[in-house]
Amino acid sequence: MTERLRQTVRRLLAEDKVKVVIGYGASKAGTPAPPIFVTRPEDADKLEWNDRCFANLSVYLTRKEVKALGKAAVVVKGCDERALVVLEKESQIDRSALFVIGMACDGVGAPKCAHCQVHVPRFADEVIGTQAEPPAPPNGPNGLDRLMAKSPAERWAFWTAEFSRCVKCYACRQVCPLCYCERCITDKNRPVVIDTSATPKGNFAWHITRAFHLAARCIGCGECTRACPAGIPLGLLNQSLAQATVENFGYRPGMDLAAEPVFGAWSPKDKEDFIG
Amino acid sequence: MSFEPKIIAYVCNWCTYLGADLAGTNRLEYPPNVRILRLPCTGRIDFNLIVKAFEMGADAVLVSGCHPGDCHYTAGNYHARRRWILFRRLLETLGVETERVHFTWISAAEGKKFQQVIGEITEKTRAMGPYAAYQVLSGVSK
């Protein structure tokens, strides 16, 4: 598959179909494949495809510096591609000005892969490889089920302990393909909405904001959890909101191009059993 | 000294604020524990405001606006309702005491309902005691 990927990239660049290809580069065994930006056909051999290609490269498409390079091609897995669907829906990318190289993927060994429903990209311009037998989904409770089985006080204690390690590096924000605001609310200081220091209250405010700004948008790529240097399971908050989004609105972000985004619409039938 | 709950009420300009006004002009008494903040519409009430209220030591928060179909801006309250459905889930996931976050629809004609709602929330919060968990976190506990 790596060879076919390189061939495709070489052709795209040689024929000047795209100016830059965002893909995965080589890394030492056991370490994640870093993103690389290939602009010359002869550099296509630097691209790699292996089971350490964790990163969701669609995050770079909304960056000014990358946009300045010209028309891009991006290497995505099926799960990453969901981000492209959401970005397109939110008018952040022009799909016609983008070449999508989809990699059929058997899973990269991340926890999310066990529940993956999109092993093969569905909207890519070119799909490379085929997918082997899909792995059987695991049985038994997952991390979110275990968290929600606790009492509210225990959950509060759990998050207090987890957030106490947060140093506000904002890696969770930087790595997220859907956190694309040029100026994040936490960087705004007139007025200060979120306490910017890594205090308990500032950390709660930040993580509440981060999770909720992704509500009904998060595609569950799990990059936030992977990027967190403190090992905080941030993805649990997003998973919980994703679950609520399915339960209440039957909506899975990035799955259906035609579906109306949850927060762009409303229905008179939305439940209101909690409103007095 | 006995505990007096602090309640922050974010209300919309067109319905609940006028409901509160009606309660006032009708001389309906309600507990003075509530601090009313008027916003244009429930659709404008950012979830960060709820977080901020707790950070600053609130024991309960009320968010209130026009009944469905009554919104001055046609659909602000429908959008808000959708947001609250998910926001409540996030609070539950974090273990925030969701019984301290109240949502109601109170129209401009429901001064009586405003009085009742504030009375009920005050009594409920008084029974629960101060929101110690968040106040410790924010460093505002007494």
pLDDT tens figures, A106-126? 888 777 787 788 888 888 898
8 Å CB contact of A276 and B93: no
Query: Which pLDDT does position B142 carry in this prediction?
Result: 58
B24 vs chain A: nearest CA distance in angstroms?
Answer: 21
Structural domains in chain B (count): 1
The answer to the question of residue B2 being in a domain is no
Output the pTM of the full model: 0.92
Flag whether residue A188 sits within 8 Å of chain B, measured between CB atoms. Answer: no
Query: Which pLDDT does position A51 carry in this prediction?
Result: 85
Q: What is the mean pLDDT of residues A150-172?
A: 95
Chain B residue with minimal CA distance to A162? B94
A236 pLDDT higher than 70: yes
The amino acid sitting at A33 is: A
8 Å CB contact of A152 and B96: yes
Query: Which pLDDT does position A133 carry in this prediction?
Result: 67
Tell me how far CA of residue A176 lies from CA of A59, A68, A181, B94, in angstroms.
6, 20, 11, 21
The answer to the question of residue B56 being in a domain is yes
Confidence at A136, pLDDT banded by 50, 70, 90:
low
Mean pLDDT of chain A: 90
The amino acid sitting at B141 is: S
Q: What is the mean pLDDT of residues A198-203?
A: 92
The answer to the question of residue B20 being in a domain is yes
Q: Which residues in chain B have Cβ-Cβ distances shorter than 8 Å to A193?
A: 48, 52
Question: How many Cα atoms sit within 13 Å of A235 on the Cβ side?
Answer: 19
Chain B residue with minimal CA distance to A269? B78
Query: Which pLDDT does position A176 carry in this prediction?
Result: 95
Mean pLDDT of chain B: 94
Q: What is the mean pLDDT of residues A60-79?
A: 92
Query: Which pLDDT does position A257 carry in this prediction?
Result: 87
- The partner residue sitting opposite B94, judged by closest CB among A156, A248, A272, is A156
Question: With pLDDT > 90 as the criterion, what percentage of chain A qualifies?
Answer: 63
Q: Supply the CATH number for residue B101's domain.
A: 3.40.50
Determine the Cα–Cα distance for residues A71 and A58; give it in Å rounded to an integer.
14
- The partner residue sitting opposite B94, judged by closest CB among A155, A185, A200, is A155
- The partner residue sitting opposite A262, judged by closest CB among B82, B97, B139, is B82
A96 pLDDT higher than 80: yes
A135 pLDDT higher than 80: no
Query: Which pLDDT does position A141 carry in this prediction?
Result: 74
A46 pLDDT higher than 70: yes
B27 pLDDT higher than 70: yes
- The partner residue sitting opposite B83, judged by closest CB among A205, A240, A263, is A263
Flag whether residue A154 sits within 8 Å of chain B, measured between CB atoms. Answer: yes
B55 pLDDT higher than 70: yes
8 Å CB contact of B96 and A157: no
The answer to the question of residue B23 being in a domain is yes
8 Å CB contact of B95 and A244: no
- CB contact set of B86 (below 8 Å; sequence gap of 6+): A212, A215, A216, A241, A244, A245, A248, A262
Report angle CA A166, A168, A173 to the nearest 5 degrees.
110
Query: Which pLDDT does position B1 carry in this prediction?
Result: 67
- Tell me the residues of chain A between 221 and 240 that have a Cβ less than 8 Å away from chain B: 236-237, 240
- CB contact set of B90 (below 8 Å; sequence gap of 6+): A208, A211, A212, A215, A237, A240, A241
Q: Which helix (H) or strand (E) holds B117?
A: helix B111-128
- The partner residue sitting opposite B55, judged by closest CB among A153, A201, A271, is A201
Query: Which pLDDT does position B65 carry in this prediction?
Result: 94
Beta-carbon count within 10 A of A67 CB: 14
Q: Which residues in chain A have Cβ-Cβ distances shorter than 8 Å to B55?
A: 195, 201, 205
Query: Which pLDDT does position A276 carry in this prediction?
Result: 84
A100 pLDDT higher than 90: yes
Query: Which pLDDT does position A87 carry in this prediction?
Result: 94
A67 vs chain B: nearest CA distance in angstroms?
Answer: 32
B88 vs chain A: nearest CA distance in angstroms?
Answer: 9
- The partner residue sitting opposite B82, judged by closest CB among A209, A236, A263, is A263
Domain residue ranges in chain A: 2-128, 143-262
Q: What is the mean pLDDT of residues A93-111?
A: 87
Q: Which domain holds residue B16?
A: 7-138
Longest dimension (CA), chain A: 66
Can the peptide bond before residue A268 be classed as cis, meaning omega within 30 degrees of 0?
Answer: no
8 Å CB contact of B86 and A268: no
The answer to the question of residue B1 being in a domain is no
Determine the Cα–Cα distance for residues B127 and B73; give it in Å rounded to an integer.
37
A146 pLDDT higher than 70: yes
What ipTM was estimated for this complex? 0.93
Chain B residue with minimal CA distance to A244? B86
